[in-house]
Amino acid sequence: MGQKGWRVGFVSQGYDTWNKKDAFRTHVGGVNSFHNKEKEKCEFLIREKQAINVVLRRQTEAEDRKYKARLHVYVIVVRLLLKTGLPFCRHDELVNSENKGLYIEVLKAIREASEDIFNNTLENAPKNNQLISPKIKKELVQCFAQEEQMAFVLCYVDNFGFVKERFIGLVHVKDTSSLILKNVINEVLTSNKLSFSQIRGQGYDTASNM
């Protein structure tokens, strides 16, 4: 662009001296000439590994892997707190707070055991993707709530004639079809050394499938 004569020649007057070596060398110029700089940029675009879309995709995939690894750790924390029935938060979760609540404190304890987790969570995660806001916590809990599960409670009469009820536990089920529920019930009874022959009644609270 610095020598307008060439530009005018290409655009309006035409350029017909390609067979003259000196003219061609002049047109190409030195290593830092406009022609060679543009030729270098063109080669960069042609190279697949250096193409803009490839570089951006590579960066996106790397961030996606980090996000999934970060989310996996938070799911472990949420599962622990839900299973034990412990509270997630405190009223004070500021940076200088000595106790930020179990959600963050448990995570901080896990971070101490892994450098990778430490470098990918809390202050080392992107500011808009630290997964510690109240909204995110509620969404994670909601995800657990949507998983299919069946609770077992046994009602029985003891040796003294008293009616007793005992909560056995929660069991994950793929769906709530009759066959799946029957098989899961049988597995739970078998693991507790019980059988269908001992059952005198069954009840399904607000179940859509009896």
Tens digit of pLDDT for each residue in 191-200?
Answer: 888 888 878 8
92 vs 79, higher pLDDT: 79
Rounded Cα gap, residues 103 and 81, in angstroms: 8
Rounded Cα gap, residues 135 and 149, in angstroms: 24
pTM: 0.44
| CB neighbourhood size of 137 (10 A) | 19
Residue-wise over 107-134: b if at least 16 C-beta within 10 A, else e?
beebbeeeeebeebbbeebeeeebbbee
The whole-number pLDDT of residue 5 equals 47
User: pLDDT > 90: what percent of the chain?
Assistant: 2
What is the domain partition of the chain in residue ranges? 4-46, 52-145, 149-198
Rounded Cα gap, residues 206 and 210, in angstroms: 9
Give the range among 2-11, 104-113, 129-138 with minimum mean pLDDT: 2-11
Report the Cα–Cα distance between both ends of the chain, in Å, rounded: 81
- For the cut 80, the answer to whether the pLDDT of residue 164 exceeds it is yes
The whole-number pLDDT of residue 160 equals 92
187 vs 128, higher pLDDT: 187
Query: Which one, of 15, 55, 30, lies nearest residue 39 by Cα?
Result: 30
Rounded Cα gap, residues 100 and 93, in angstroms: 4
